[in-house]
Structure 1
């Protein structure tokens, strides 16, 4: 599939965009696609070049199925694995097996992101790949977006969809970076495994000391392996991912066979660091945040991709109201903040609470033992971390 766009030119475009979106993950791309379908002038900046792999569980909750189909993603034709059950284990191997009623689909970000980018450009969105935004300014009811190389772009609205951490967080002096809010930091790792006969309807979540690992099927006979660990685990083993896996992850007897025996797909592991789960704001310096830039949910407890798409659906309607002059900028920011919190804050809060149990051997074992005895409680936990179709 050809790349949907090329690198940005080094001169300033003449037009004023209705919306500038910084970050081309599922949150930013679905927002760009919706605005373009509504006939709005949209520009999106992505520092990488499609297609590329991301650290991600690559699991999309079925709550997003109808939404993606409406956008033009041919999910029914893509022969994607559908997961309807899950297993979660403690570091000692205590396991819970349970139905996953809402279910989810496995799809690689390598495929999904490029597909969304292509659809957005077909509807008229401008996407600059390989383009790093260096600054965002706001004056006279207009944003100026500066990119590496010196080009600038103007837009009536600006949205931040750059993920868990970016230099722009510091530029905008976002409050979650304040030293008084510093807490534990995590590292995330993702790669694909070739596991013989891994069930195509199963998600597995395996805890280890100060972290947890997810396994789920994706197309091509591969299994996504993604995990998050306290950064101290990595530092304690010479910053070696392989050594950390041997000394920490493989202490879980259910996870060990996968990591020891499965073959890794050709691409090297992707590693990101400086991950935190501190509360974030949905608006900073008039930039509207969505996806992980607005709030992160612990991977084992929820579905970050689904939340990013939910937020894009919520935000695009409010942006259209503002661009059509039906609400003011202050009303746009206030209504988005209230609606975002109403829709997603409970999921994030529940995720942070559940996250406190995982990665701690005694607490995780106790939690799994309780959930095994009370299946209805497991269903309630799942409802807290998943949403409804929209």
Structure 2
């Protein structure tokens, strides 16, 4: 192959980013900030325009507190609610109350995501909002990314942080999309409730048939109410959210008052569907995955926001080593896969196993009754699903 003239090589290098990140949630944005702070040329694509709401529990484990502060997030000055207690209930209302070992903070994605985007820009990252990436091609040791508008960008590395599902999953022929698999599918729903009598400093998780709902306080006196349900519940009630809630979720007496409040307030829910919990790969076609793109995270395994940030911290050091020529691309991919599995796969596996039990009324009730008698087991499960400060 004929090499490019020196002047064209310099032009190509100038137009080539060190890293392209697809997806502007907490995983992608915190990765962009870290790389930009290290002096690397970073471009991030977000299909929406900030600020916007996401279906999310909006609970950040305190394992991420120091990390976010290092990035420049002024958590101490934001007057965020802090959770130190945990309540779990079965569909019939049998409840467990327990202290949280590490606890967490409540923060709305409507506020956090644009704040992270601003910090990334201030550190030199290029953030393209309202921009959908439609194709990623790897050739001659660099990536070419094409947007819906037909513009192309080049980068030495590419990272996928696009969430639970995207068209790019099919473009990259990701193995978890193998035809013929009959996994259960779920729908996720989120409300922000106001003027509800919610216990201070508490995270609640309430089970119902084939699903469960989490509640926690966020800033401004609001309560985040997010739930995940087998899609069969929704279909059985004519794809009507209110009907499903009334006939299924409200059978739990502890959950009922919150959903009644949501319906009374007329709060419009945010809904996403076609969620599965299939095992995913951390690297596909040389694109490095993080957040839900690397493994859809059940709400029970320590919250996806924290795990997405954990993955960004793992990945940024390896990306810097690769960009500096200290490791090869193969080593980058292998070491990231090992590090991700070592730190996060146990949490995802634990969450997936508990997820299979939750939503089954008899199993959930029996499990809660056991945990009430053996509190050390609750401590053990909470440690399985939460990490350590870093």
Query: What's the TM-score, normalizing by structure 1?
Result: 0.95
Structure 2 CA distance for aligned equivalents of residues 50 and 239 of structure 1: 29
Partner of 1:319: 319
Equivalent residue, structure 2, for 1:206: 206
Question: Following TM superposition, by how much is the alpha carbon of 1:168 offset from its aligned partner in structure 2, in angstroms?
Answer: 0.4
Gaps of 5+ in 2: 1-11
* Aligned equivalent of 1:192: 192
2:384 is equivalent to residue 384 of structure 1: yes
1:356 Cα deviation (Å)? 1.2
Maintained 8 Å contact 1:13/1:153: no
User: Is the 2:282–2:290 contact (alpha carbons within 8 Å) kept by the matching residues of 1?
Assistant: yes
Cα distance in structure 1, aligned partners of 2:378 and 2:312: 29
Residue of structure 1 equivalent to 2:129: 129
What is the SS of the residue equivalent to 2:220?
A: coil
Deviations along 1:172-215, whole A, 9 cap, x unmatched? 01001113544101000011011433223001110000000011
Matches within 5 A, 1:1-390: 15-261=15-261, 268-390=268-390
What is the distance in 2 between the residues matched to 1:75 and 1:147? 34
Q: Secondary structure at the match of 1:170?
A: helix
Instruction: Output the aligned Cα RMSD.
Output: 1.4
| Aligned-residue offset at 1:259 | 1.2
Q: Is the 2:160–2:289 Cα contact (8 Å) retained in structure 1?
A: yes
Q: SS state of the match for residue 135, structure 2? A: strand
Change (3 A) 1:285 1:262: closer
* Alignment coverage as a number of residue pairs: 379
In the TM superposition, residue 264 of structure 1 has moved relative to its aligned partner by 6.9
SS in 2 for 1:173: coil
Higher alpha-carbon deviation: 73-82 or 174-183: 174-183
Per the alignment, residue 7 of structure 1 pairs with: none
- SS in structure 2 opposite 1:220? helix
Contact 2:300 2:385 in 1 (8 A): no
Query: After the TM superposition, which segments of 4 or more aligned residues of structure 1 sit over 4 Å from their partners?
Result: 262-267
8 Å contact from structure 2 (residues 138, 144) kept in 1: yes
Alpha-carbon separation, structure 1, partners of 2:230 and 2:381: 24
Please tell me whether the aligned partners of residues 37 and 123 of structure 1 are also in contact (alpha carbons under 8 angstroms).
yes
Q: Is the 8 A contact 2:59 2:106 kept in 1?
A: yes
Distance 1:70 1:265 in 2: 39
In 2: Cα distance, 1:327 partner to 1:27 partner: 23
Tell me, yes or no, if the aligned pair for 2:242 and 2:263 is still in contact at 8 Å: no
Measured in 2, the distance between the counterparts of 1:279 and 1:210 equals: 20
Q: Residue 101 of structure 1: CA displacement? A: 1.6
In the TM superposition, what whole-angstrom CA distance separates every residue of 1:280-318 from its partner, at most 9, and x where no partner exists?
000000000000000122113321111000000000000
Q: Does the C-alpha gap of structure 1 residues 149 and 266 become closer, same or farther in structure 2, counting only changes over 3 Å?
A: farther
Give how far 1:265 is off. 6.8
Query: Is the contact between residue 32 and residue 125 of structure 2 (CA under 8 Å) also seen in structure 1?
Result: yes
Q: Deviations over 1:260-282 (max 9, x none)?
A: 13577776211001111110000
Give the alignment's TM-score, normalised by structure 2. 0.95
**Contact 1:181/1:278 (CA < 8 Å) preserved in 2?**
no
Give CA-to-partner distance per residue, 1:19-58, whole Å, 9 cap, x none: 0000000000000000000000000000000000000000
Q: Please state whether the residue corresponding to 1:179 is helix, strand or coil.
A: coil
More displaced stretch, 131-140 vs 252-261: 252-261
